[in-house]
Amino acid sequence: MTQWAKTDTDGPEPHGRGGPGPMIDAGAELDPVHPMKPPRPAGRHTGLTAAEVAEHVRRGEVNDVPVRSSRSLTEIIRANVFTRFNAIIGVLWVIMFFVAPIQDTLFGFVIIANTGIGIVQELRAKRTLDGLAVIGEAKPTVRRDGVAAEISTSGIVLGDLVELGPGDKVVVDGEVVEADSLEVDESLLTGEADPVLKHPGDSVMSGSFVVVGGGAFRATRVGREAYAAQLAEEASRFTLVDSELRNGISTILKYVTWMMIPTAIGLIISQLVVHQSNFKDSLARTVGGIVPMIPEGLVLLTSVAFAIGVIRLAGQHCLVQELPAIEGLARVDVVCLDKTGTLTEGGMDVRELRPLGGADEKYVRRVLGAIGASEPRPNASLQAIIDAYHDDRADWPVTAALPFSSARKYSGAAFTEPGSGGADGTAKRSSGWLLGAPDVLLPEGDPALRETDRLNREGLRVLLLARAAGELDASDAAAGASATALVVLEQRLRPDAADTLRYFAEQNVAAKVISGDNAVSVGAVAGKLGLAGAEHVVDARRLPTDRAEMAEALESGTVFGRVTPQQKREMVGALQSRGHTVAMTGDGVNDVLALKDADIGVSMGSGSEATRAVAQIVLLNNSFATLPSVVAEGRRVIGNITRVATLFLTKTVYSVLLAVLVACFQVEYPFLPRHLTLLSTLTIGIPAFFLALAPNRERARPNFVRRVMRYAIPSGVIAGAATFATYMLARHYYVGADALSAETSAATLTLFLVSMWVLAIVARPYTWWRIGLVLSMAALFLVVLAVPALQHFFALKLVGVTMPWTAVAVAVAASAALEYCWQYVGRRFPA
């Protein structure tokens, strides 16, 4: 009889949670991330034959839904090229080709270069993600010709017999043909939280997963006909939408469009109708006024920053299944950690066996060995028992099994073993055994619990072997159980866990350890790792059910034990109700509901297929130490995009203001496109690229639009007003045929100096390379002013001494106003 019992006080741990698994053929080729599942008894169903599989493949009855972790090449090109602002700039660029010299069409070439960079970076991210998705892809076990083997999801054909165990994801629709206490969670599809008990003949839907028991089902719908195929494809798609950052940028661009249209119309009327001047020159200055209103590089730079973030994380074996997860991690202020597999390594060792009530140790060893032999997919706890008592196991037929449940905290098995009633010792008797949490199986006050508590305080895990008083399938199977022995297990702490917890503390991210294990034991482990507050542990069975009261307990507590899967989900919701951004880590099927509801779900690569399916981020190297790097990358991306957005939107504000002032005062627009292309490149384009990729450890904060515009609007207003003031002073100072060129040069100098001061403020806090960046941009502008060929190319030549120094004086006054304004805004309107 095939058995599927699970035995662990902390929940099922598919694939051994990184620990040693059952014996596997040494010649078998193992996936480096997901070790091959141990072979299971074939049962009475042998599955399809090779000939039948070939026939289904010939008919096209294959699960051919593509696994997509990124946008297609066509989608990438379309998203980067065919934008609203690129269309506007493209039309203006074509116009300038016919009416202006090449210098005034430079803005078009810059857009082409920037768009090309965006496409190349996203293609690099696509190749990286597609490669990682193949590594992290679920590999279901399919039985063919009576032999079970792992294959890729796309290799399943109609009619295949797919085996299931705890934590396995149902990858295609099917009909159950074998069931051994099989319970399936369909909450991701139906919203129903309670697992559904499945019997032979029942249907299973793709997207659900096994929580208890095991069995096999026959695929009845594959490919795009499967219930959740399109949902799964959409969920795994690399996306650039649905995040506060991108929604904020979209909102800003919408407002910019509304401002730009009437302003551009007024500028056109002013330059072409009201002010009678040279048509081509007026048209060029009109375009020069419209182009800088468009923050075209902001969206592009955001895409590039995200793509580079994905590539950097991929280098650390981290699969980002949903791109906004990078942004979410930057905002995380609470991280909920599962103990087993996160703070501790998956493997365990039996440290001691303590028989109780005069039980014979040799007999206890045989019972434990028999329980271990009955489990084809042991977790880390049971694997330690198998390793310790494999040679002592009794060869007793298994008559019943009680699969592990995270809610019960124990599992069981019944055997037919030799009795002592016959003269020859051959009389048979049935014995039922339970293996699980002592504080669940024993009543309060039992003497064995005092010893259990003492061992738990040392950070040891303790399982109780108890003889069942009744049937295993009874609702109160643990009632009346008699304690037989304590199995003391020693857990292996992750060597990097202490440093990781220290990092979170330094970054003001609260770490909450939420485990199904004994609370005292969890607290001892957390204490060894230096987690603050670990000495005050909370037994989750005593937590209030009211969300507000639970949230209060979670705020004050750090370590929680005996947490059920449903409680994990409720605890995440309670923290979120307090305004926290919550990240949840886990690898067992008992973590799925909490991972799904958390703002960011982080799964280990060796975790169950269900956890990897719902998590936004998968740590393929199973290293908890990778998490700080992931959080830091998110902060770098979001913090820097917020920083450089101020530069782009300052330009938009001063461009709109200049256009309005020009229209109101009925004067020529002071700049040609070449002037603003030069200014944008030196004060925004080049610096923004470097600043967007710089280290940034500041935690991202909400209200992106408000935080950016509170600086961009006053900065743009000051820059625009100072530039227009210099321009009007120059109009009264210069006379003659070349007066407009001199006026433009003076206004350009003021605008450059004020924009450089905005850049200098944004670049803070200063480092050697930030100072070098600002000085380099200033030096390049001086080169343009000093080299005659560049003077001619950009139509820039400072005439005389009085007006250039006046332009500098106006810029200094504006910079002082900028400095005061930024400090005032920072105090008056804190983020």
In tens, the pLDDT along 172-212 reads 889 999 888 788 877 666 655 567 888 899 988 887 888 77
CATH architecture observed for domain 350-492: 3-Layer(aba) Sandwich (3.40)
Q: How many residues does the chain have?
A: 831
Taking CA atoms, 669 is separated from 352, 654, 729, in Å, by: 86, 13, 14
Q: Which residues fall within 8 angstroms of residue 514, CB to CB, at 6 or more apart?
A: 336, 337, 338, 540, 560, 563, 568, 571, 594
Which stretch, 14-23, 56-65, 243-252, 781-790, has highest mean pLDDT?
781-790
Residue in this structure with the two tokens 């009889």, named with its chain if needed: 1
With cut-offs at 50, 70 and 90, classify the pLDDT of residue 273: low
Query: What is the separation, in whole angstroms, between the first and last Cα of the chain?
Result: 63
Reported as a pLDDT band with limits 50, 70 and 90, residue 69 is low
Residue 830's pLDDT is: 66
SS3 23: coil
Residue positions annotated with a catalytic role? 338
Instruction: Please report the pLDDT score of residue 316 as a whole number.
Output: 80
Percent helix, strand, coil in the chain, to 5, is 50, 15, 30
DSSP for 631-646 reads: HHHHHHHHHHHHHHHH
DSSP 683: I
pLDDT tier for residue 818 given thresholds of 50, 70 and 90: very high
16 by Cβ neighbours in 10 Å (0-12 / 13-18 / 19+) ranks as buried
Q: Which 3 state secondary structure label does DSSP give 121?
A: helix
> Who has greater pLDDT, 148 or 275?
148
pTM (predicted TM-score): 0.65
More confident residue, 278 or 86: 86
- The pLDDT score that the predictor gives to residue 807 is 95
Torsion sign over Cα 254, 259, 261, 264:
negative
Does the pLDDT of residue 32 top 60, yes or no? no
Please tell me the predicted confidence (pLDDT) of residue 228: 54
- Averaged pLDDT, 777-796: 92
**Which fold does the domain 42-239 belong to in CATH?**
2.70.150
Dihedral angle computed from the Cα positions of residues 298, 301, 306 and 309, in that order, rounded to the nearest 10 degrees:
-140
Write down the H helix ranges in 137-208.
187-190
Per-residue pLDDT, averaged over 482-492, amounts to: 86
Window from 115-119, 232-236, 489-493, 567-571 with minimum mean pLDDT: 232-236
What tokens were used for 288? 């020069």
- Closest among 370, 374, 403, 408 to 389, alpha carbons compared: 370
Q: How far does Cα 42 stand from its chain's mean position?
A: 38
CA atoms within 13 A on the CB side of 201: 0
Q: What is the pLDDT of residue 101?
A: 76
* pLDDT class of 130 with cuts at 50, 70, 90: low
- When mean pLDDT is compared across 118-127, 499-508, 594-603, the lowest value belongs to 118-127
How much is the pLDDT for 506? Answer: 86
Q: Which of 36-40, 495-499, 732-736 has the lowest mean pLDDT?
A: 36-40
Nearest-angstrom CA–CA distance, 597 and 583: 10
If one counts every other C-beta atom within 10 angstroms of the C-beta of residue 690, the result is 16
Bridge partner list, 410: 405, 436
Helix (H, G, I), strand (E, B) or coil at 820: helix
Average pLDDT, the chain: 79
Q: From the CB of residue 794, how many other CB atoms can be counted at a distance below 10 Å?
A: 20
Based on its alpha-carbon atoms, the radius of gyration of the chain, rounded to whole angstroms, reads 34
SS3 94: helix
Residue 4, pLDDT above cutoff 60: no
CATH architecture entry for 318-342+494-622: 3-Layer(aba) Sandwich (3.40)
How sure is the predictor about 39, in pLDDT bands with cuts at 50, 70 and 90? very low
Positive or negative torsion for Cα 36, 38, 41, 43: negative
**Amino acid residing at 158:** L
- 711 pLDDT more than 60: yes
Nearest alpha-carbon partner for 682 in 795, 775, 767, 769: 775
DSSP string, 236-253: TS--S-SSHHHHHHHHHH
Residue with tokens 């979170």: 504
- Better-scored residue on pLDDT, 810 or 450: 810
Amino acid, single-letter form, for residue 453: D
- Secondary structure class of 191 (helix, strand, coil): coil
Q: In a 10 Å sphere around its CB, with 0-12 CB exposed, 13-18 middle and 19+ buried, how is residue 492 labelled?
A: middle
Q: Which of 34-48, 334-348, 706-720, 735-749 has the lowest mean pLDDT?
A: 34-48
C-alpha separations of 398 from 41, 537, 636 in Å = 14, 39, 56
CA–CA dist 337, 279 (Å, integer): 68
- Return d(Cα 413, Cα 400) in angstroms, integer: 6
Helix (H/G/I), strand (E/B), else coil: 685:
helix
Q: Hey, is 669 helix, strand or coil?
A: coil
Distance between CA atoms of residues 38 and 22, nearest Å: 6
pLDDT (mean) for 3-27: 34
CB 80 within 8 A of CB 303: yes
Supply the CATH classification number for the domain 242-310+639-828.
1.20.1110.10
The b/e string for 195-211 (b: 16+ C-beta within 10 A; e otherwise) is bbebeeebebbbbbbbb
- pLDDT of residue 128 exceeding 80, the answer is no
Written as six digits, the tokens of 439 are: 């504080």
3-state secondary structure of 184: strand
Q: Check whether 292 has a pLDDT greater than 70.
A: yes
Q: Which residues contact 613 (CB under 8 A, 6 or more apart)?
A: 138, 169, 207, 209, 232, 235
Q: Are 646 and 831 in contact (CB under 8 A)?
A: no
Give the DSSP letter string of 520-581.
Answer: HHHHHHHHHTT-TTTTSEEEGGGS-SSHHHHHHHHHH--EEES--HHHHHHHHHHHHHTT--
Burial class of residue 80, CB neighbours in 10 A (0-12, 13-18, 19+): buried
Q: Domain locations in the chain?
A: 42-239, 242-310+639-828, 318-342+494-622, 350-492
Burial of 501-511, coded b for 16+ CB within 10 Å and e otherwise, reads bbbbeebebbb
Within 13 A of 460's CA, how many CA atoms are on the CB side? 19
User: Can you tell me the mean pLDDT for 733-757?
Assistant: 89
Q: Is residue 806's pLDDT more than 80?
A: yes
Per-residue pLDDT at 589 exceeds 90: no
pLDDT over 90 at 118, yes or no: no
- Residue scoring higher pLDDT (533 or 7): 533
Q: Are 244 and 64 in contact (CB under 8 A)?
A: no
**Shared fold status for 242-310+639-828 and 318-342+494-622:** no
- More confident: 735 or 72: 735
Helix (H) or strand (E) holding 785: helix 768-786
pLDDT at 679: 92
Q: What is the DSSP string of 27-67?
A: TSPPPSSSPPPPP---TT---B-HHHHHHHHHHT-B-----
Q: Tell me the per-residue pLDDT of 645-667, one tens digit each, with 9 for 90 and over.
A: 889 889 989 988 998 898 888 88
| Percent of the chain residues topping a pLDDT of 70 | 83
CA–centroid distance for 36 within its chain: 26
Torsion, Cα 457 463 469 471, to 10 degrees, reads 130
Please compute the mean of the pLDDT values over residues 243-253 and round it to a whole number: 75
CB burial of residue 124 (10 Å; 0-12, 13-18, 19+): middle
Residue 180's H or E segment, with its range, is strand 173-185
Contacts of 346 (CB under 8 A, 6+ apart): 13, 16, 17, 18, 19, 340, 380, 606
Q: Taking the mean position of all CA atoms in its chain, how far away is CA 223?
A: 27
